[in-house]
């Protein structure tokens, strides 16, 4: 996956890894780790890529070991952040949030569990006799409280449709910047949903979804038009996205 050139890509990756580690934020760890795993899955058949990734991982872990040994304060704070992921009960903030999730979900009736309380409902639970009305800091719990399990299933289907259509486009695109940009979109969208485990639902997720689906439709329309016009106005579109090769079936037949 080359976006600009190999040097710039390597520098970007070198800046990305410290950006995950330095904040020592649990949700950033989860989002970054899920994004990296998704990237490895996309390129699981490219042995050269996996070999390079292994070398980068070894170098990164070596640097991390040196830093942890020589900076005890960073080692303690970093270990504490990781422990909050492995054992959430050991972290005061994580245990506080989980108690809020438990109280609010257990207080739902069968009807509310299925269909939610609606957008007009308010968050409400008690922490040691102190009333708490803040959002639950978990988008999935938030969706269940507002729209119920049915709403969560509907949202899951939307996410599934996004990944299915973008994967279909990505697999048809030839190697190049457009394919790389499509993969970046997949990684960002996937990492954002791991990030939502620790934060409220954000409208930006729906914006990502709308942009991705609009791009799929644009690409589909461009390739369908080129079946009838070899040159002209549509030329710039399929020049950017990848000209359909002879014998390539209509993209409309595999994106539905």
Q: What is the pLDDT of residues 28-82, one digit of tens each?
A: 778 888 888 888 888 888 888 778 778 877 887 788 788 878 888 877 877 776 6
pLDDT score recorded for residue 113 = 92
In tens, the pLDDT along 208-248 reads 788 877 877 777 776 666 665 555 544 444 444 444 444 44
The mean pLDDT of the chain is 77
- For residue 31, give every residue at least 6 positions away whose Cβ sits within 8 Å of its Cβ, in sequence order, or none: 191, 192, 194, 195
The one-character DSSP state at 130 is E
Q: Write phi, then psi, for 127 (nearest 5 degrees).
A: -120, 100
As a whole number of angstroms, the distance between CA 170 and CA 178 comes to 9
Structural contact between residues 179 and 170, judged by C-beta atoms closer than 8 angstroms? yes
Q: Write phi, then psi, for 130 (nearest 5 degrees).
A: -105, 125
As a whole number of angstroms, the distance between CA 141 and CA 146 comes to 9
- List the domain boundaries for the chain: 1-86, 92-256
The one-character DSSP state at 200 is -
Helices (H), the chain: 6-21, 26-42, 47-70, 72-86, 92-106, 110-115, 139-172, 177-195, 203-226, 235-241
Distances (CA, A) of 86 to 21, 83, 89, 91: 16, 5, 9, 10
Distance of CA 186 to the CA centre of its chain: 7
Q: How many CB atoms lie within 10 A of CB 28?
A: 19
Distances (CA, A) of 133 to 125, 192, 206: 7, 25, 25
As a whole number of angstroms, the distance between CA 235 and CA 228 comes to 11
In tens, the pLDDT along 113-146 reads 999 988 877 788 888 888 888 888 899 999 999 9
Top-confidence residue, 214 or 152: 152
The model's pTM: 0.70
Average pLDDT over residues 199-203: 82
């Amino acid at each position: 996956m080359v976006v600009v050139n190999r040097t710039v890509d390597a520098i970007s990756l070198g800046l990305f890894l410290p950006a995950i580690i330095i904040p020592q934020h649990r949700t950033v760890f989860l989002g970054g780790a899920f994004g990296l795993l998704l990237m490895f899955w996309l390129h699981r058949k490219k042995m050269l890529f996996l070999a390079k990734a292994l070398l980068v991982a070894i170098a990164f872990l070596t640097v991390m070991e040196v830093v942890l040994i020589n900076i005890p304060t960073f080692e303690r704070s970093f270990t504490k952040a990781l422990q909050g992921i492995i054992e959430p009960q050991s972290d005061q903030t994580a245990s506080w949030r989980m108690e809020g999730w438990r109280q609010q979900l257990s207080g739902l009736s069968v009807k509310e569990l299925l269909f939610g309380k609606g957008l007009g409902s308010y968050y409400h639970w008690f922490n040691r006799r102190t009333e708490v009305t803040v959002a639950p800091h978990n988008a999935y719990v938030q969706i269940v409280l507002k729209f119920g399990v049915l709403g969560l299933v509907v949202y899951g289907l939307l996410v599934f449709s996004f990944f299915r259509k973008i994967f279909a486009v990505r697999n048809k695109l030839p190697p190049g910047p457009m394919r790389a940009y499509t993969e970046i979109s997949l990684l960002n969208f996937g990492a954002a949903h791991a990030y939502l485990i620790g934060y409220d639902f954000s409208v930006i997720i729906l914006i990502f979804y709308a942009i991705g689906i609009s791009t799929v439709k644009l690409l589909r329309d461009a390739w369908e038009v080129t079946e009838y016009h070899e040159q002209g106005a549509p030329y710039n579109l399929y020049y950017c996205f990848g000209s359909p090769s002879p014998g390539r079936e209509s993209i409309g037949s595999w994106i539905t």
